[in-house]
Amino acid sequence: MSILKTSGLKKYYKTGPNLVKALDGIDLKVEPGEFVAIVGTSGSGKSTLLHVLGGLDNPTSGNVEIDGKELSRMNDDQLTIFRRRNIGFVFQNYNLVPILNVYENIVLPIELDGEKPDKAFLDQIVGMLGLKEKLDNLPNNLSGGQQQRVAIARALATKPAILLADEPTGNLDSRTSQEVLGLLKMTSRQLHQTIVMITHNNEIAQLADRIVRIEDGRIVA
Partner 1 sequence: MFQNNNSAVIKHLSKAGLKSSKLRNRLAGAVIALAAFLLALASTFAYNAAMELQNLTHYQAVFENVDTQVIEKIRTNPDVEAYGISRRAGMAKNGDISLSLLYSDEKTMELSNVRIKTGALPEQVNQIAIEKGYLDSVNSGAQIGDDITITYRNSVNNEMQTDSFIITGFLGTGDENGMGRKVYNAVVSRAFIDSDPALSSVYPTVVIKVANADGYSNTGLKAKIKEIGQLAGLPEKSIYINDINVDSNNTTSETSAAVLAIALVVVIAAALVIYNIFYITIIGKVNEYGQLRTLGATKRQIRKIVMREGKLLSLQSIPVGILSGSGVSYLLRPSMWLAVPSLILALCVGIITFLTVMLSLRKPAKIAAGVSPMEAVLYTDFHGSSKGKKRKVKKLTPFALGRIYLTGNKKKTAVTFLSLTLSGILFITAASLLSSVDPVRRARQGFLYGGEYRIGLNRELLSPSTSYSDLQINNPLPEELKAKITAISGVDGVEIHKYIRGRLVGAIHDDETIGVDNIREKDAAELKKYLVEGNLPDTSADQILVNRGTITYEYFGLHYQPGDTITMLLYDGDTQISKKFTVSGIIDNDDSGDTLFLPDSVMDALMAQNCNQSFEILSGQGYSADVEAQLKALIASEDKLEFDSMKEQTELEGRVLHVIATAAYTLVALIACFGLVNLVNTIITNILSRKNEIGIMQAVGLSRKQLMKMLYTENAYLIFGSFIVSVFLGSVLGYYVCIAAGNVGGLSYIQYQFPIWTNAVYFLLMIILQTITTRFIGIFLQRHSVIERLREV
Interface positions with partner 1 (CB under 8 A): 51, 54, 56-57, 76-77, 80-81, 83-85, 89, 91, 93, 95-101, 103-104, 107-109, 111-113, 135-138, 140-141, 154, 158
Of 40 and 88, nearer to partner 1 (C-beta) is 88
CB-based contact 37:185 (threshold 8 Å) = no
Distance in Å, CB of 209 to partner 1, minimum: 25
DSSP letter (8 states) at residue 33: T
Distance in Å, CB of 221 to partner 1, minimum: 27
Of 105 and 205, nearer to partner 1 (C-beta) is 105
Of 65 and 111, nearer to partner 1 (C-beta) is 111
Angle, helices 144-157 vs 174-190, to 10°: value is 20
Distance in Å, CB of 33 to partner 1, minimum: 23
DSSP letter (8 states) at residue 114: T
Burial of 13 by CB count in 10 Å (0-12 exposed, 13-18 middle, 19+ buried)? exposed
Distances (CA, A) of 182 to 26, 135, 185: 29, 21, 5
Distance in Å, CB of 99 to partner 1, minimum: 5
DSSP letter (8 states) at residue 166: E
Distance in Å, CB of 152 to partner 1, minimum: 13
Of 82 and 121, nearer to partner 1 (C-beta) is 82
Of 56 and 207, nearer to partner 1 (C-beta) is 56
Distance in Å, CB of 157 to partner 1, minimum: 9
Q: What angle do CA 165, 170, 173 make, to 5 degrees?
A: 125
CB-based contact 102:137 (threshold 8 Å) = yes
Nearest residue to 124 via CA among 101, 144, 106 = 106
Of 18 and 77, nearer to partner 1 (C-beta) is 77
CB-based contact 9:70 (threshold 8 Å) = no
